[in-house]
Amino acid sequence: MDLTPRNPLITVDALIEIDGGIILIKRKNPPYGWAIPGGFVDYGETLEEAVVREAKEETCLDIQIIRQFHTYSDPGRDPRHHTVTTMFIAKATGIPRAADDAQDIGVFTRDTLPEDMAFDHRQVVEDYFEGRY
Protein backbone atom coordinates (compact mmCIF):
# COMPACT_ATOMS: atom_id res chain seq x y z
CA MET A 1 0.00 0.00 0.00
CA ASP A 2 1.43 3.39 -1.07
CA LEU A 3 1.09 5.94 1.74
CA THR A 4 2.79 8.75 -0.19
CA PRO A 5 0.59 11.85 0.12
CA ARG A 6 -0.89 13.13 -3.13
CA ASN A 7 -1.54 16.82 -3.10
CA PRO A 8 -2.66 19.22 -5.82
CA LEU A 9 0.08 21.24 -7.49
CA ILE A 10 0.05 24.98 -6.76
CA THR A 11 0.08 27.46 -9.62
CA VAL A 12 -0.40 31.19 -10.14
CA ASP A 13 -1.68 33.24 -13.07
CA ALA A 14 -1.67 36.96 -13.90
CA LEU A 15 -4.56 38.79 -15.53
CA ILE A 16 -2.31 41.56 -16.86
CA GLU A 17 -4.21 44.72 -17.78
CA ILE A 18 -2.60 46.67 -20.62
CA ASP A 19 -3.82 48.81 -23.52
CA GLY A 20 -7.51 48.40 -22.61
CA GLY A 21 -7.39 44.60 -22.52
CA ILE A 22 -5.63 41.65 -20.93
CA ILE A 23 -2.62 39.67 -22.12
CA LEU A 24 -2.97 36.06 -23.20
CA ILE A 25 -0.18 33.79 -24.40
CA LYS A 26 -0.45 31.02 -26.98
CA ARG A 27 1.10 27.89 -25.46
CA LYS A 28 3.98 26.04 -27.17
CA ASN A 29 3.33 22.88 -25.16
CA PRO A 30 0.25 20.79 -24.40
CA PRO A 31 -2.37 21.58 -23.47
CA TYR A 32 -2.37 23.93 -26.45
CA GLY A 33 -4.41 27.09 -26.78
CA TRP A 34 -4.41 30.64 -25.49
CA ALA A 35 -3.85 31.02 -21.76
CA ILE A 36 -3.43 33.52 -18.98
CA PRO A 37 0.31 33.88 -18.25
CA GLY A 38 1.34 31.82 -15.25
CA GLY A 39 2.84 28.61 -14.00
CA PHE A 40 3.98 26.52 -11.09
CA VAL A 41 5.08 27.93 -7.74
CA ASP A 42 8.65 26.92 -6.85
CA TYR A 43 9.48 25.54 -3.42
CA GLY A 44 10.40 28.42 -1.08
CA GLU A 45 8.62 31.01 -3.24
CA THR A 46 5.57 33.09 -2.28
CA LEU A 47 2.57 33.24 -4.59
CA GLU A 48 3.37 36.89 -5.29
CA GLU A 49 7.01 36.14 -6.16
CA ALA A 50 5.91 33.28 -8.41
CA VAL A 51 3.37 35.32 -10.38
CA VAL A 52 5.86 38.15 -10.96
CA ARG A 53 8.50 35.63 -12.13
CA GLU A 54 6.12 33.68 -14.38
CA ALA A 55 4.73 36.87 -15.96
CA LYS A 56 8.28 38.06 -16.72
CA GLU A 57 9.32 34.67 -18.16
CA GLU A 58 6.33 34.43 -20.50
CA THR A 59 5.63 38.08 -21.44
CA CYS A 60 8.97 39.89 -20.84
CA LEU A 61 7.03 42.40 -18.71
CA ASP A 62 7.56 43.56 -15.16
CA ILE A 63 4.16 43.53 -13.51
CA GLN A 64 2.74 45.37 -10.54
CA ILE A 65 0.22 43.27 -8.64
CA ILE A 66 -3.04 45.11 -8.02
CA ARG A 67 -4.78 42.39 -6.01
CA GLN A 68 -5.51 38.73 -5.67
CA PHE A 69 -8.54 37.90 -7.83
CA HIS A 70 -9.75 34.37 -7.03
CA THR A 71 -8.54 30.81 -6.48
CA TYR A 72 -9.69 28.09 -8.88
CA SER A 73 -9.46 24.48 -7.71
CA ASP A 74 -11.63 22.20 -9.86
CA PRO A 75 -9.63 18.94 -10.06
CA GLY A 76 -10.31 18.76 -13.82
CA ARG A 77 -9.18 22.30 -14.68
CA ASP A 78 -5.79 21.06 -15.99
CA PRO A 79 -5.83 17.79 -17.97
CA ARG A 80 -2.26 16.96 -16.86
CA HIS A 81 -2.68 17.09 -13.06
CA HIS A 82 -4.86 18.36 -10.26
CA THR A 83 -3.81 22.00 -9.86
CA VAL A 84 -4.98 24.82 -7.64
CA THR A 85 -4.30 28.27 -9.03
CA THR A 86 -4.48 31.70 -7.50
CA MET A 87 -5.26 34.40 -10.04
CA PHE A 88 -3.86 37.88 -9.62
CA ILE A 89 -4.85 41.11 -11.36
CA ALA A 90 -1.79 43.12 -12.37
CA LYS A 91 -0.75 46.09 -14.48
CA ALA A 92 2.27 46.43 -16.74
CA THR A 93 3.80 48.90 -19.10
CA GLY A 94 6.02 48.16 -22.04
CA ILE A 95 5.76 45.94 -25.06
CA PRO A 96 4.74 42.33 -24.37
CA ARG A 97 6.85 39.68 -26.13
CA ALA A 98 6.26 35.94 -26.15
CA ALA A 99 9.03 34.05 -24.35
CA ASP A 100 9.71 30.81 -22.46
CA ASP A 101 6.84 28.41 -23.26
CA ALA A 102 4.76 31.06 -25.07
CA GLN A 103 4.82 30.93 -28.87
CA ASP A 104 2.64 34.01 -29.36
CA ILE A 105 1.15 36.81 -27.29
CA GLY A 106 -1.76 39.17 -27.67
CA VAL A 107 -3.94 41.72 -25.94
CA PHE A 108 -7.61 40.76 -25.87
CA THR A 109 -10.84 42.41 -24.80
CA ARG A 110 -14.09 40.75 -23.79
CA ASP A 111 -15.21 40.94 -27.44
CA THR A 112 -12.01 39.64 -29.05
CA LEU A 113 -11.24 36.54 -26.97
CA PRO A 114 -9.79 33.66 -29.01
CA GLU A 115 -11.84 30.50 -29.48
CA ASP A 116 -9.14 28.02 -28.43
CA MET A 117 -8.38 28.70 -24.77
CA ALA A 118 -6.51 26.27 -22.52
CA PHE A 119 -7.48 24.98 -19.08
CA ASP A 120 -10.47 26.77 -17.52
CA HIS A 121 -9.13 30.15 -18.64
CA ARG A 122 -12.21 31.14 -20.67
CA GLN A 123 -14.30 30.90 -17.49
CA VAL A 124 -11.66 32.82 -15.53
CA VAL A 125 -11.55 35.62 -18.10
CA GLU A 126 -15.35 35.77 -18.21
CA ASP A 127 -15.40 36.01 -14.39
CA TYR A 128 -12.87 38.84 -14.62
CA PHE A 129 -14.77 40.81 -17.28
CA GLU A 130 -18.04 40.35 -15.37
CA GLY A 131 -16.41 41.58 -12.13
CA ARG A 132 -17.51 38.36 -10.49
CA TYR A 133 -14.93 38.31 -7.66
Contacts of 119 (CB under 8 A, 6+ apart): 31, 33, 35, 77, 78
Q: Residue 58: what pLDDT? A: 98
Architecture of the domain delimited by 9-129: Alpha-Beta Complex (3.90)
Q: Residue 93: what pLDDT? A: 85
List 18's β-bridge partners, or say none. 21
Q: Residue 122: what pLDDT? A: 98
Rounded to whole angstroms, how far apart are CA atoms 91 and 61? 10
Provide the residue ranges of all domains of the chain, joining segments of one domain with +. 9-129
Within 10 A of 74 (CB to CB), how many other CB atoms are there? Answer: 12
pLDDT lower than 50: segments of the chain: none
Rounded to whole angstroms, how far apart are CA atoms 82 and 92? 30
